Amino acid sequence: MSYSFSEDEDAYIPTPEDAPYFSLVGNIIVQEYPENPESKEQLSDFENKLKLYDSLNHKNILSVNGGRKSSVHEGIESLEKHLTADSTLSWMQRLQICVDVADALRYLHFDLKDDSSVIHGNVNSSVILLNKDNFTPILHGFRYAVKVKRHSRYISRKYYGSLQYKDPAFESTGGLTHKSDVYSFGVVLFEVLFGLNASVHEDDNRSFAQMARHYYDEKRLDEKINDDLRKQMDDQSLHLFSQTAYFCLEEQQAKRPDMEQVFKRLKKALELHQSFVHPTAPNRLKVENMNHLKEALDYQKINEDSLHISLEEIKLGTQDFNDHNCIEKEGYWKQYVGKITHDNKHITVIAKRWNRNFPQFHHQFFRELKVLHEYKHENLVSLVGYCNENDEKIIVYEYPRNGSLAMHLDNASLTWVRRLKICIDVATGLDFLHTKVAMMHTNIKSASILLDGDWKAKISNLELSAHLSDVKPIEDVTSDDAYSILPKIYHFMHPFSPYDIEQGYMTRDTDIYSLGVVLKEFWFKRMIDDPSMRELTDIYIEDESFLGMEIFDVQHYGMYKKSTKLFKAVVSECSSREPQERPNASYVVTHLKNALKVQEDYEEWKPKLPKDYKDIIKLSTSPDTYNSIEMFKDLYDTFSKGILLKDGKVLFSLASNGERNEMISARMFSYKNGNPHDNWCIFPQSRFEKVAHIELDAIYVEGIEFRPIDNGGHQETKTSKEIEQVLKSNSNFDSVLISSEMILKGSINNDSGQELFSLTEVEGKKHIMLSAMAVVCNHSDSTLFDSKPSLESRFEKGSRNTT
């Protein structure tokens, strides 16, 4: 960018801190390479500053011609020399200069390509150079600038800048941050406004800043502003400019806006002043702060879509706007319920009618109409039509059968799952506005959320919405010119954080805080319309012992503690005082869905688990593993597959009908003649690593002896009367003669090999021998089932013991 220079002798004179490197040649500032540097540090400092200048690329930041001997700074006079009352700078020019310098500082703090940030460290009116032809500002004076990583904008070092611009927080922090530049720039803004140079009074470097804040607090700014300048100013523009400067001078760094926000607010102040100086033509719609011609074209486009509903039809449906039909109202509109004929259907609708005495009713009407016409979403209220007759401005919504959310905060029939789903709907609708429409709602509250017949939540009342790039003064929502209600009263009605109110303007993060208030209202079952009450609920949300204010009887509503914990965590994040600490709407949706998921899992799957499932887990071989399973469905699936208990000797499982099964390991059986447990061998047809190689030994289970069945035939023998009697008692066996000796040593099975008995003596007593299948299946509490075909099993049938 090139500049023209004047031969005026009253050109910029280098400041003391620049003196070692600067000299004045005519009207051009020359930064000279030190021929005889006092130290290596001085030489290194110069070279580092040249590298810093070379890395910056902004139209309002000094550009240099890198060279070993000199570098030329393009500029002539400083802003400092144009502050006084006799200056020719108009208010429009002053605003433009401030906007450009704010943009340069915003670039230094946020827009460098290498994820770094530059803290200027010496922002003042003398380091802002002005081109004399068009007064384009150029920021320089980077001798004390520091380049740091963007995520840690802090440097601990001595303060070298001008005292009257010094950050008061420096004494306590011992260092500078990007908010230190914000404070210094705030001093410059009041210099521009008052037409005065900041001065240090009796070594009090804060005297000018304190004076400026005092006059602002007392609403006496006009006493300090030059009369000629004041006559040029638009009241709205002046208010936004002075308020921005005031916030920059906050004592605490956290309360100051960042340069991104300062830039947007000053740009808006400039636009307001431009609209004031160049008013719209009288034949255009009188809409403030808008591109009126664009709105007219938008309206024409909407009109072509045949959405217009006659005023007569709406009057007929609402009984001529009868008070009995009024269901909601604010200072500038009322909502009426009524029935109209539309698209050959008789439907129930809400007619939102603006007060024609309200100055901005045109703007609000067209803003909401345009958004609802262009953007459709399941969580935004649906547009039925509109009316624009006889200066009436009416938007017609679909009728929400369940009214507004504000009507149901204490509705005992709303379960915790239903409440979570409503909250998710609201957050989803807000996420759509922020990401797809690129707008902030600015007025999220329970009364603005409508509920249809299926309890689906829909966001309404978008008349105050604004583009995310806009600077939306908080007074646009918290004040009402038509009714002259004091802003302090509206702070109770609108869910804004104390920080947002102090900041004076709204952002996307303001919506998130308001969403947090809605979530808290759902939790506490009441409207939270008092700032002190909001602070109290913040404490209760984070404190687990706040049962006195809790809306739910947790046991009565079946609320799962983990679900409520996730919910409260989201609420706490939304309620953060610092806007940058609040999450975005997408984050809120994700975490609310997690809270819903665990609650639904709790309600559906926990009842299917054994009541003593925790005790069963304690008996398992891996209790820590099972206790780490978070979802009840996963735990149920694990129980269905089976878990090992009692040192791996019992497999506990749940059947599909909820019955409990316990399978005992074969190792738990004892063997005749005391065969040891190590008498196991590998059996090639088995899927188990080890199987019992019993070798025809008997197994005793609770007094019943089991022996392996020989599938081969048995010799017919004679039997004693005693044995014959036993055989006759079983109708499934034919009466045969078997010798007592053979019976004692062998066994008898039927033709199918499914049943058998045998007599033997153990410790001198006679025992009946049956097959394991017969024992299990003939037990009164056992059932036989057919095993499903499995490649892993060699058995065709199995049994389930329900004891």
pLDDT in tens, 449-460: 999 999 999 999
Query: What is the phi-psi region of residue 525: left when phi exceeds 0, alpha when psi lies from -120 to 50, beta otherwise?
Result: left
Q: Which residue's structure tokens are 């057919």? A: 786
Average pLDDT, stretch 416-427?
Answer: 96
Per-residue pLDDT band for 292 (boundaries 50, 70, 90) equals: very low
Strand partners, 326: 336
Q: How much is the pLDDT for 117?
A: 85
Is the pLDDT score of 398 beyond 60?
yes
Query: What is the phi-psi region of residue 613: left when phi exceeds 0, alpha when psi lies from -120 to 50, beta otherwise?
Result: alpha
Q: Which residues does 167 contact at the CB level (< 8 Å), separation at least 6?
A: 159, 176, 179, 180, 183, 184, 253
- Closest CA relative to residue 770, chosen from 799, 793, 796, 749: 749
> What is the rounded distance in angstroms from the CA atom of residue 427 to the CA atom of residue 441?
12
Judged by average pLDDT, the poorest of 130-134, 250-254, 712-716 is 712-716
Is the pLDDT score of 151 beyond 80?
no
Instruction: Decide: 87 and 195 in contact? Cβ < 8 Å.
Output: yes
Instruction: For residue 636, give both structure tokens.
Output: 């149920």
Judged by average pLDDT, the poorest of 50-64, 398-412, 503-517 is 50-64
Judged by average pLDDT, the poorest of 58-72, 318-332, 552-566 is 58-72
Question: 97-141 pLDDT, tens per residue?
Answer: 999 999 999 999 888 877 788 888 889 998 898 887 788 999 988
Average pLDDT, stretch 657-666?
Answer: 77
Average pLDDT, stretch 630-658?
Answer: 84
> What is the rounded distance in angstroms from the CA atom of residue 748 to the CA atom of residue 418?
67
Q: How much is the pLDDT for 519?
A: 92
Report which of residues 126 and 693 the model is more confident about: 126
Instruction: For residue 398, give both structure tokens.
Output: 């679909």
| Angle made by CA atoms 625, 626, 631, in degrees to the nearest 5 | 120
Is the pLDDT score of 492 beyond 50?
no
Q: Which residues does 481 contact at the CB level (< 8 Å), separation at least 6?
A: 358, 359, 360
Average pLDDT, stretch 294-311?
Answer: 62
Judged by average pLDDT, the poorest of 110-114, 197-201, 424-428, 538-542 is 538-542
Tell me the range of 119-123, 346-350, 525-529, 688-692 where mean pLDDT is highest. 346-350
> What is the rounded distance in angstroms from the CA atom of residue 33 to the CA atom of residue 22?
9
Report which of residues 469 and 320 the model is more confident about: 320
Per-residue pLDDT band for 336 (boundaries 50, 70, 90) equals: very high
Is the pLDDT score of 157 beyond 80?
no
Sheet of 326-330: strand order equals: 326-330, 333-342, 345-354, 394-398, 383-387
* Burial of 712 per CB tally in 10 Å (0-12, 13-18, 19+): exposed
CA distances for 223 relative to 131, 194, 212, 220, angstroms:
30, 9, 11, 6
Chain center to CA of 611: 36
Instruction: For residue 478, give both structure tokens.
Output: 């918290």
Quick one: DSSP state of residue 278?
Answer: S
Is the pLDDT score of 657 beyond 50?
yes
Per-residue pLDDT band for 522 (boundaries 50, 70, 90) equals: confident
- Listed as own residue / partner, the contacts of 80-84 with beta carbons closer than 8 Å and 24 or more positions apart are 80/124, 80/125, 80/126, 80/128, 80/197, 81/10, 81/12, 82/130, 82/135, 83/125, 83/191, 83/192, 83/195, 83/196, 83/197, 84/195, 84/196, 84/197
Query: What is the phi-psi region of residue 15: left when phi exceeds 0, alpha when psi lies from -120 to 50, beta otherwise?
Result: beta
Instruction: For residue 78, give both structure tokens.
Output: 């400083």
Chain center to CA of 234: 39
CA distances for 469 relative to 95, 267, 349, angstroms:
19, 11, 34
All domains of the chain, ordered by start, with CATH?
16-277 (1.10.510.10), 292-398 (3.30.200.20), 413-603 (1.10.510.10), 609-664 (no CATH), 695-801 (no CATH)
Q: Which residues of 513-528 are buried (b: 16+ CB within 10 A; e: fewer)?
A: bbbbbbbbbbbbbebb
Question: 783-796 pLDDT, tens per residue?
Answer: 444 444 444 444 44
Query: What is the phi-psi region of residue 141: left when phi exceeds 0, alpha when psi lies from -120 to 50, beta otherwise?
Result: left
The phi, psi pair for 504, rounded to 5°, reads 90, 0
Is the pLDDT score of 366 beyond 60?
yes
Q: Which residue's structure tokens are 């204490």? A: 410
Q: What is the CA radius of gyration of the chain?
A: 42
Strand partners, 149: 116
Per-residue pLDDT band for 583 (boundaries 50, 70, 90) equals: very high
Per-residue pLDDT band for 302 (boundaries 50, 70, 90) equals: low
Kindly report the average pLDDT of the chain as a whole number.
73
Average pLDDT, stretch 378-403?
Answer: 93
- Written as one letter, the residue type at 160 is Y
Average pLDDT, stretch 702-731?
Answer: 47
Instruction: For residue 161, give both structure tokens.
Output: 């800048």
Report which of residues 68 and 221 the model is more confident about: 221
> What is the rounded distance in angstroms from the CA atom of residue 494 to the CA atom of residue 259?
26
Instruction: Decide: 73 and 50 in contact? Cβ < 8 Å.
Output: no
Report which of residues 799 and 504 the model is more confident about: 504
Judged by average pLDDT, the poorest of 429-433, 598-602, 650-654, 674-678 is 674-678
Share of the chain above pLDDT 70, in %: 60
> What is the rounded distance in angstroms from the CA atom of residue 736 to the CA atom of residue 730?
12
